Amino acid sequence: MKILVTGGAGFIGSHVVDAYVAQGHEVLVVDDLSTGRRENVNSQARLYVLDIRDAKLGEVFAAEKPDVVNHHAAKASVRESMVKPILYADVNVLGSLNLLELSRQYEVSKFIYISTGGAVYGDPEYLPADEAHRILPLDPYGASKACFEHYLPLYHKNHGLSFTILRYANIYGPRQDPLGEAGVVAIFSAQMLHGDPVTINGSGEQERDFVYVGDAATANLAALQKGDGGIYNIGTGVGTSINELFTRMKDISHYTLLAHHGPPKAGEVFKTFLNADKARHELGWRPTVGLNEGLRLTVDDFRAKV
């Protein structure tokens, strides 16, 4: 099977590329390298350095004619989206629509879309939030990701394009950049290993659902053959506070300083974790890497690069 992965030079996308290559698929990567890195790209994949909004993307589809599109590329910072909402709509909605139109024109058989379970539900009315939870994001990033979800059933009904939507919780692991659109695990890893001060935004009692990147990759493997027309949370069902995360990572990294507490960040959900029962039943997916194991693997990877 020939699979085009957008954002395949990025943190999560590159792990998905590795998983597809390991299964014997032919993999193409489209990435503008704004946050992705060339060295993340599997040597057996072909890299096209392109923005998903670029008209030249049509040349890639014409030349390669992929069977499946796996769409990871996105602007993905909640905080940046609060000050650049137009940019987030341009990339995450219009750029994605450009990709979807090309998928229709070149008769792609399936479109796997990576959405966000951490942002589309807003402040959850119940926890763990399942896929039936109402959609009410608190930031332009979440709004842009939720907006594009609506195009997929439309293209399925009108053009027969199969799709699966994966709503990720907070994915962490090796290759995550501690700068830019970084997650808290990557930020803490870099700060702790360098002996720098660590700042926790707000009280630290906010909770997130942390999923190891290898488990996210296996969800993308499952979505190749299963989940047509479905939306699936990819989470653990367990919330971990930032204070608890700090304590666990302090022990793993042998960090000796205390955390500082800064002001809370605008637009951020206070507590969110996801019910992934549907993914377990219909995709046959479940997380296999526990938090301590995943944090240790992540810190070890960062330590090797210090």
Residues marked as catalytic: 141
152: which 2 tokens? 């997929």
Q: Which residues partner with 167 through β-bridges?
A: 115, 233
Instruction: Classify strands 170-172 and 68-71 as parallel, antiparallel or unpaired.
Output: unpaired
Give the three-state DSSP class for 260: strand
Handedness of CA 125, 118, 234, 70 (dihedral sign): positive
Q: Which residues partner with 212 through β-bridges?
A: 172
147: which 2 tokens? 């907006």
121: which 2 tokens? 């539900």
Q: By C-alpha distance, which of 286, 306, 304 is closest to 222?
A: 286
Q: By C-alpha distance, which of 123, 152, 126, 125 is closest to 232?
A: 152
Spatial CB neighbours of 301, under 8 Å, sequence gap ≥ 6: 173, 174, 175
CA gap 210, 260 in Å, rounded: 22
224: which 2 tokens? 């190749």
Furthest-apart CA pair in the chain: how many Å?
59
CA gap 265, 290 in Å, rounded: 28
Residue 294 parent element (H or E): helix 291-305
- In terms of Cβ atoms closer than 10 Å to its own Cβ (0-12, 13-18, 19+), residue 30 is buried
CA gap 279, 130 in Å, rounded: 10
Q: By C-alpha distance, which of 124, 119, 122, 134 is closest to 77?
A: 119
